[in-house]
Amino acid sequence: MRQMRHFALVLLVVSAPAAAQDVRDALEAGDLICEFRDGFRHNLIADLSDSPPRADLMLVYESVTADSAQVVSTARPGKRPVHVRAIGEAVHLIEPEGPSVRVTTLTECRDWRWKNGVETCVRFAARHAWHFDWRAYLGPDTSRVRVPSAAAIGVCEPWNID
C-alpha cells in the first residue's frame, strides 16, 4: 500500500509540469483566436441537435508573448493592450478596463498536433470573465477561484496551426 502511494505521488509530480507546459504552448503561438459562449444562456435548438452552440464573443489575441499581447474583440471596437501571466497550470490574458479587468484564462489542452517533430497543444479550454476589481490583475490564479459560474466558456486556438 505504501508503494502505491509513492507511485501515485511520483505520477502526480511527473504529470503536473507536462500539463502546465501544454497550456504554456499558447505563449509560443504568436496569435490566438478565441470563441466563447455565454455560460448562463443555453441554446435549446443546439441542445436538441448535434450542432455546437454559436459563439457569443470572439477575441483575437495578437503578438502574444510571455508578458503582453494585443486584443481585438467582437464586443468592442479597437485594439487594446493585454498583460499575460503564466501562473501554475494556467495562462491568464488580462485586459485592464478602467477600475475593472477582463480576464481570459487558458486552463488545459484539448487537442495536440505534431509541429516540427514536437507534440504541441493546438486547442485550449478557456474561460472569460469580467472582474470588477483589480485583484484579478494582481493575483489572477486566486481570482480564477472566484470566477462567476456564468463566465463565458470556450476555446482558444493558435491562428496558424501549421
* Cα of 65 vs its chain's centroid, Å: 14
Residue 61 has pLDDT above 50, yes or no: yes
Place of cell 511527473: 14
Residue in 40, 37, 41 with CA at minimum distance from that of residue 59: 37
pLDDT of residue 33: 95
Query: Which run of H or E residues covers position 20?
Result: helix 2-24
Give the pLDDT confidence of 2-23 residue by residue, as tens digits. Answer: 444 433 333 333 334 455 567 8
Phi, psi of 39 (to 5 degrees): -70, -20
Mean pLDDT of all residues in 87-97: 89
pLDDT of residue 147: 55
Give the pLDDT confidence of 121-149 residue by residue, as tens digits. Answer: 999 999 998 887 666 666 666 555 555 55
Q: pLDDT higher for 97 or 50?
A: 97
pLDDT confidence tier of residue 119, bands split at 50, 70 and 90: confident
pLDDT of residue 25: 82
CA distance 139 to 99: 15
